[in-house]
Amino acid sequence: MSTKNCSGCLAIIKNREYLQCPTCEQVFDIDCVNIPSKELKSMTVDSPITRSPTNTTISDDINDHTSSNVTLQQTKLKTLHDMVTKELNNMNQQFSSFHESLNFFNDYFENVKKELEDKSALQSSVNDLTQRLGALEQNMRENNVEVNGVPERKSENLINTFSQLAKSIQYPLADADVIHITRVGKLNQDNGRSRSFVVKMRSTRHRDALLAAVATYNKKWRHF
Q: Give per-residue pLDDT as tens, 40-70.
A: 666 655 554 444 334 444 555 555 555 666 6
Q: What one-letter code names the amino acid at 113?
A: K
CA atoms within 13 A of residue 105's CA, in its CB half-sphere = 5
Cβ atoms of residues 200 and 142 within 8 Å: no
Rounded to 5°, the CA angle 149-158-168 comes to 65
> How crowded is residue 92: how many other Cβ atoms within 10 Å of its Cβ?
10
Cα distances (angstroms) measured from residue 177 to each of 205, 209, 214: 10, 11, 16
Q: Which domains does the chain have, with CATH numbers?
A: 4-70 (no CATH), 143-220 (3.30.70.1820)
CA dihedral 40, 44, 47, 53 (to 10 degrees): -30
Confidence of residue 165 (pLDDT cuts 50, 70, 90): very high
Rounded CA separation 78/124 (Å):
67
pLDDT tops 60 at residue 172: yes
Mean pLDDT of 155-162: 91
Helix, strand, coil percent values for the chain (each to nearest 5): 55, 10, 30
Task: Read off φ and ψ for residue 123, nearest 5 degrees.
Answer: -65, -40
pLDDT 10s digits, 67-115: 666 677 788 888 888 899 999 999 988 888 888 888 999 999 999 999 9
Cis amide bond preceding 22, omega within 30: no
Where are the extended beta strands (E) located within the chain?
Answer: 4-5, 12-13, 18-20, 27-29, 144-147, 178-183, 197-201
Alpha-carbon gap, residue 171 to 218, rounded angstroms: 13
Backbone angles phi, psi at 29, to 5 degrees: -80, 170
Cα separation, 57 vs 207, whole angstroms: 133
pTM over 0.85: no
- Confidence band for 135, pLDDT divided at 50, 70 and 90: confident
Give the confidence band of 30 by pLDDT, cuts at 50, 70, 90. confident
Give, rounded to a whole angstrom, the gap between the first and last alpha carbons of the chain: 136
What secondary structure does DSSP assign to 33-74, as a single string? HT--HHHHHH--TT--SB-TTT--BHHHHHHHHHHHHHHHHH
Average pLDDT, the chain: 81
